[in-house]
Amino acid sequence: MLEKRLTLSNDTTLPLLGLGTWQMPPGEVTYQAVRDALATGYRHIDTAEGYQNEEGVGRAIKDSKIPREDLFVTTKLESHIKTYQGALDAFDASLKALDMPYVDLFLIHAPWPWSDIGSNHDAGNIEAWKALETIYHSGKAKAIGVSNFSPRDIDNILSVAQVVPHANQIGLFVGNPQHETVEYCEEKGIQIIAYSPLAIGYALKDPLVVKMAKKYGVTPAQLLIRYTLERGAASLPKSTHQHRMEENAAVDFRIDKADMAELNRYENDPRQFN
């Protein structure tokens, strides 16, 4: 499964499965997790300036001696940066932290600062998007996109965009099917990338997930990850344990139509099962 790839609208390809690094402590924990993931066969690593672990990701990649062109690395613009120059500067800082000449995908992390979720930054997002287009044209990001953007947030960017975002990375998992955003992005040719496919671990205990995993003879984590792939998304399970990285990549099975319909209908905050 780790060799399977998806193609973005600009013909860049990315491995279907990647390692998520959100909530991985910076420094040695991130370094070791990325080394383990690369040794397991992962070739797609997702980080962000906001995770403060780009340095560990970059160092692990360098030490692995895997040719850079065999890897797909994503990072993200901090959510509070909503100016053209601020975005260019932050991108340079990310490249420096990663110690890389380019990234494969650069995303606006969120339409609003994490400190003020839901606030309106339409003008700032347009400024930031113009900076991402400049970066894309420079060749230092092979693809560009957004994260946590609703259809309305994307429409705002499209009102001026020369480059349609190549991807939208969203929290997609059983219980949070995100139908509106997924359908909208499909229509526009914007690839969905699923972060937190396990709902940060909470969905592993969901009774429907546990029951259905048993039916397919897989683990709850595998069912949850496969669900995101069946939705047409790339998927970024996070783990700092190599045996789980292996488990999370062993998802070469299909969820049948009726079960997908049941999972797609399921809307539930998974945290209540914790």
Q: Which is nearer to ligand A2P, 136 or 195 (CB)?
A: 195
243 versus 254: smaller Cβ distance to ligand A2P = 243
**Minimal distance, residue 80 CB to ligand A2P, in Å:** 22
Q: How far is the CB of 207 from ligand A2P (least distance, A)?
A: 16
∠ CA(257), CA(260), CA(266), 5° rounding? 145
Q: Which is nearer to ligand A2P, 133 or 247 (CB)?
A: 247
Give contact residues for ligand A2P (rule: CB under 6 A).
20, 196-201, 204, 221, 237-241, 244, 247-248
Q: Which of 31, 42, 51, 195 is catalytic?
A: 51
- Compute the C-alpha angle 134/135/139, nearest 5°: 115
CB closer to ligand A2P, 154 vs 212: 212
Between 77 and 199, whose beta carbon lies closer to ligand A2P? 199
Q: Is 42 a catalytic residue?
A: no
Shortest approach of ligand A2P to residue 37 CB, angstroms? 11
CB of 228 to ligand A2P, least distance (A): 10
Measured from the CB atom, is 22 or 102 closer to ligand A2P? 22
Largest CA distance in the chain: 53
Minimum distance, C-beta of residue 221 to ligand A2P, in the bound complex (Å): 3
Q: Which two tokens stand for residue 72?
A: 């797909």
At its nearest, how many Å lie between ligand A2P and the CB of residue 25? Answer: 10
Return the HEC string of the chain: CCCCEEECCCCCEEECECEECCCCCCCHHHHHHHHHHHHHCCCEEECCHHHCCHHHHHHHHHHHCCCHHHCEEEEEECCCCCCHHHHHHHHHHHHHHHCCCCECEEEECCCCCHHHCCCCCHHHHHHHHHHHHHHHHHCCECCEEEECCCHHHHHHHHCCCCCCCCEEEEECECEECCHHHHHHHHHHCCEEEEECCCHHHHHHHCHHHHHHHHHHCCCHHHHHHHHHHHCCCEEECCCCCHHHHHHHHCCCCCCCHHHHHHHHHCECCHHHHC
For 192, the token pair is 């969905």
Instruction: Give the active site residues.
Output: 51
